[in-house]
């Protein structure tokens, strides 16, 4: 039969081709470019560690590293914690999936749309300032996205609006999987709400929480479009993260070597987080093949 | 008792409703704000609060005229009309081809005699974990050198590639739950691998295939970084790249037009989430935890 001629490895070829050409080759090549000086037109010129040296001596890098850390920590505190609280609230409410879809709705919106929604909220005569004008002095109002350092936190709020629903769904799925017996037992023994939460619910949620935390860190490290559309990392690169800095160096200044070095540094950080993620999700399964 | 699943209504559930409903309203306020503001003219928005209708505009007519302006743009090249078509093409073809190629690979990784299955799987999966920035520079220069820059086919190829890792991940997990005996029995009956794949594994995998299609369609539709880096002209720009360009020109286009643009570009994905909310919930859990159960 003709079909039998299809060898097992042929099934892998299309996927390997696409991954190889469009993902692995560029990732490796970016690493190489990070040791060169290149504007995209000339041929890359080997400069050793000069790009890294330049980056580490440049205050803009440390600002963006600081912002990246603020983003990772704040998006753990705000969207993850809020997502958890929402999933607790919605745990035994009737029509919970009706409510959930509203909190989840921002997930459907692109980073650009989220940026526009909040850029409008934060504009000088936008909703936030109109509401604040009721309580505050006129001169306390500001263009939130242009004021340092509040603009980073303003963008984190917008990002939290996007991600909270996702975290809520994840926690809900984990919570629904808790068997009923321990909850009933706690009830029969007269445990109150906080005792049940602490002794039954939270321990059962440990692995879900681990995944959400690691994934949330990876996501905020990789975040790009929201910051790029809202502030372009400005004013004066003060709200840039590593990912934004990379794009700025590469596609506005066309300093590909420096951009590649930025991308490499970011990837190394993400790689560390990704190892934790892989260890969690493959813990129970078949690594040994 | 909050954690007990009982059917009957009691006081605590009533209180919960009182807490949750205001939360939902606050949560949806930014959307309401945008929706209302897209029904005003530029003058009308100066005369009213951001969240209330304007006294001088007919909301429906002004909304339609804002949308028309958003579609056509203020000058050639900044209307989103053509981008709607481009992004539909990218999202549909990117989703379909990435799922097809990933399914073939996942089938091979689970059923066929292949050495180094787990390393190959990790190679295929690794693309889902790295920041997208690491792919941009080499692809940008590769596309410029090979005359591929600013072409539809280029973006389709990139989208197919970037969507494959997650599809492999989901489908491999799914295929591993299909008893290997089914494969072995069909093999003894003389079926070829490709027949087993098409006639047994694909029909058994409708649920993850639908899930993946919804996710990848949404991802590609919402992508900004590839659409803006690898395309420049009206014929190729993706919808979100054009929307961001419109936002950049809000002073000429008028903020209400930009907001109307943001609304209509979101309609396809918002519709999908509402229509298939339970599939999306399941898919999110899968993406994060690697388990469908």
A96-134 pLDDT, tens digit per residue, is 788 889 999 999 999 999 999 999 999 888 888 888 888
Which CATH number belongs to the domain containing residue A64 in this structure?
1.10.3720.10
The whole-number pLDDT of residue B27 equals: 93
Task: Render B195-242 in DSSP notation, one character per residue.
Answer: HHIIIIIHHHTHHHHHHHHHHHHHHHHH--HHHHHS--STTT--HHHH
**pTM for the whole thing?**
0.91
User: Does residue A30 belong to any structural domain of this protein?
Assistant: no
Report yes or no: A245 and A228 within 8 Å, Cβ to Cβ: no
> Following CA atoms A174, A175, A176, A181 in sequence, which dihedral angle do they give, to the nearest 10 degrees?
120
Helix, strand or coil, per DSSP, at residue B192: coil
User: Does residue A238 belong to any structural domain of this protein?
Assistant: yes
Pick the most confident of A148-152, A174-178, A262-266, B9-13: A262-266
pLDDT above 90 for A161: yes
Mean pLDDT of A26-40: 91
Are the Cβ atoms of A11 and B105 closer than 8 angstroms? Answer: yes
- B54 CB near a chain A CB, below 8 Å? no
The whole-number pLDDT of residue B288 equals: 62
Q: How confident is the model at residue A1 (pLDDT cuts 50, 70, 90)?
A: very low
Size of interface A-B (CB pairs under 8 A): 318
* Least confident among A1-5, A189-193, A262-266: A1-5
Strands A36-37 and A45-46: antiparallel
Of A101, A186, A243, the CB nearest to B277: A101
Output the six-digit token pair for A147. Answer: 């004021």
Prediction ipTM score: 0.91
The whole-number pLDDT of residue B161 equals: 96
Q: Which residues of B touch A174 (CB under 8 A)?
A: 289
Residue B291 or B170, more confident: B170
Are the Cβ atoms of B34 and A30 closer than 8 angstroms? Answer: no
Burial string for A112-138 (b: 16+ CB within 10 Å, else e) reads bbbbbbbbbbbbeebbbbeeeeeeeee
Residue B242 or A147, more confident: B242
User: Does residue A272 belong to any structural domain of this protein?
Assistant: yes
> For residue B65, how many other CB atoms are within 10 A of its CB?
17
Contact residues, B window 158-197, toward A, CB-based 8 Å cutoff: 158, 160-162, 164-165, 168, 176, 190, 192-195, 197
Q: Which residue in chain A is spatially nearest to B30 when comparing CA positions?
A: A117
Of B3, B27, B164, the CB nearest to A183: B3
Q: Which residue in chain A is spatially nearest to B21 when comparing CA positions?
A: A99
Q: Which residues of A touch B247 (CB under 8 A)?
A: 112, 115-116, 119, 229
The number of distinct structural domains making up chain A is 1
Are the Cβ atoms of B164 and A91 closer than 8 angstroms? Answer: no
Q: Which residues of A touch B240 (CB under 8 A)?
A: 110-113, 225
Report yes or no: B272 and A108 within 8 Å, Cβ to Cβ: yes
Q: Which residues of B touch A274 (CB under 8 A)?
A: 129-130
pLDDT above 60 for A27: yes
Helix, strand or coil, per DSSP, at residue A108: helix
Residue B9 or A261, more confident: A261
- A35 CB near a chain B CB, below 8 Å? no
Interface test with A, best of B15, B99, B138, B193 (most A CBs within 10 A): B138
Of B3, B28, B120, the CB nearest to A102: B28
pLDDT above 50 for A3: no
Percent of chain A whose pLDDT exceeds 90: 46
> Which domains are present in chain B?
17-57 (no CATH), 81-289 (1.10.3720.10)
Q: How far B181 CA lies from chain A's nearest CA (Å)?
A: 18
Q: How far apart are CA B121 and CA B168, in angstroms?
A: 8
User: Does residue A215 belong to any structural domain of this protein?
Assistant: yes
- A150 CB near a chain B CB, below 8 Å? no
Q: Which residue in chain A is spatially nearest to B130 when comparing CA positions?
A: A267
Of A100, A196, A281, the CB nearest to B289: A281
Q: How far A250 CA lies from chain B's nearest CA (Å)?
A: 7
User: Does residue A169 belong to any structural domain of this protein?
Assistant: yes
The whole-number pLDDT of residue A16 equals: 94
- B135 CB near a chain A CB, below 8 Å? yes
Instruction: Give pLDDT tens digits for B70-87.
Output: 888 877 778 888 899 999
Mean pLDDT of B19-33: 92
Task: Render B7-62 in DSSP notation, one character per residue.
Answer: SS--HHHHHHHHHHHHHHHHHHHHHHHHHHHTTS-HHHHHTS-TTS--SSS-HHHH
Strand partners, A45: A37
Q: How far B229 CA lies from chain A's nearest CA (Å)?
A: 8
Q: How far apart are CA A18 and CA B139, in angstroms?
A: 13
Contact residues, A window 174-193, toward B, CB-based 8 Å cutoff: 174, 177, 180, 183-184, 186-187, 193
Q: How confident is the model at residue B290 (pLDDT cuts 50, 70, 90)?
A: low
Domain that holds residue A105: 59-281
Output the six-digit token pair for B10. Answer: 């009691």
User: Does residue A75 belong to any structural domain of this protein?
Assistant: yes
Of A112, A183, A225, the CB nearest to B4: A183
User: Does residue A274 belong to any structural domain of this protein?
Assistant: yes
pLDDT above 60 for A285: no
Residue B276 makes CB contacts below 8 A (sequence gap 6+) with: B210, B214
Q: How confident is the model at residue A283 (pLDDT cuts 50, 70, 90)?
A: low
User: Does residue A17 belong to any structural domain of this protein?
Assistant: no
Q: How far B223 CA lies from chain A's nearest CA (Å)?
A: 7
């Amino acid at each position: 039969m003709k079909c039998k001629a299809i060898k097992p490895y042929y099934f892998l070829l299309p996927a390997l081709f696409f991954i190889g050409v469009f993902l692995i080759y560029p990732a490796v090549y970016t690493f190489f470019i990070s040791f060169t000086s290149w504007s995209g037109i000339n041929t890359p010129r080997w400069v050793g560690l000069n790009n890294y040296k330049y980056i580490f001596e440049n205050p803009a890098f440390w600002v963006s590293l600081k912002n990246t850390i603020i983003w990772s920590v704040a998006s753990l505190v705000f969207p993850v914690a809020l997502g958890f609280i929402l999933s607790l609230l919605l745990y035994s409410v009737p029509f919970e999936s009706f409510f959930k879809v509203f909190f989840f709705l921002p997930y459907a919106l692109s980073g650009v749309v989220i940026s526009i929604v909040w850029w409008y909220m934060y504009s000088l005569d936008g909703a936030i300032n109109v509401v604040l004008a009721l309580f505050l002095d006129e001169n306390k109002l500001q263009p939130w996205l242009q004021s340092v350092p509040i603009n980073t936190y303003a963008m984190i709020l917008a990002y939290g609006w996007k991600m909270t629903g996702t975290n809520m769904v994840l926690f809900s799925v984990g919570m629904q999987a808790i068997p009923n017996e321990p909850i009933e037992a706690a009830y029969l023994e007269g445990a109150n709400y906080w005792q049940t939460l602490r002794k039954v619910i939270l321990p059962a949620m440990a692995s879900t929480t681990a995944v959400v935390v690691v994934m949330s860190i990876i996501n905020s490290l990789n975040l790009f479009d929201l910051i790029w559309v809202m502030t372009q990392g400005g004013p004066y690169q003060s709200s840039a993260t590593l990912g934004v800095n990379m794009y700025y160096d590469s596609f506005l200044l066309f300093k590909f070597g420096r951009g590649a070095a930025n991308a490499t540094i970011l990837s190394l950080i993400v790689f560390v987080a990704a190892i934790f993620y892989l260890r969690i999700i493959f813990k129970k399964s078949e690594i040994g093949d | 008792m909050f954690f007990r699943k009982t059917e009957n209504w009691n006081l605590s559930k009533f209180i919960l409703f009182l807490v949750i409903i205001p939360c939902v309203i606050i949560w949806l306020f930014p959307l309401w704000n945008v929706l209302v503001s897209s029904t005003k003219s530029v003058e009308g928005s100066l005369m009213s609060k951001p969240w209330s209708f304007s006294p001088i505009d007919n909301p429906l007519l002004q909304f339609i005229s804002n949308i028309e302006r958003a579609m056509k743009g203020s000058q050639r090249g900044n209307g989103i009309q053509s981008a709607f078509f481009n992004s539909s093409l990218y999202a549909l073809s990117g989703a379909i081809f990435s799922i097809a190629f990933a399914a073939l690979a996942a089938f091979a990784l689970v059923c066929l005699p292949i050495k180094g299955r787990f390393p190959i799987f990790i190679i295929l999966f690794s693309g889902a974990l790295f920041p997208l920035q690491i792919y941009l520079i080499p692809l940008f220069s590769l596309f410029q050198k090979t005359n591929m820059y600013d072409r539809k086919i280029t973006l389709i190829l990139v989208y197919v590639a970037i969507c494959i890792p997650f599809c492999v991940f989901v489908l491999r997990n799914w295929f591993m739950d299909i008893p290997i005996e089914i494969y072995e029995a069909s093999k003894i009956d003389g079926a070829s691998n490709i027949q087993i794949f098409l006639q047994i594994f694909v029909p058994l995998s409708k649920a993850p295939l639908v899930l993946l299609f919804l996710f990848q369609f949404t991802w590609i539709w919402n992508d900004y970084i590839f659409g803006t880096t690898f395309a420049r002209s009206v014929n190729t720009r993706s919808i979100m790249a054009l929307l961001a360009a419109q936002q950049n020109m809000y002073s000429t286009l008028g903020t209400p037009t930009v907001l109307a643009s943001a609304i209509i570009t979101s309609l396809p994905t918002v519709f999908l989430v509402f229509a298939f909310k339970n599939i999306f919930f399941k898919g999110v859990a899968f993406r994060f935890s690697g388990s469908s159960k």
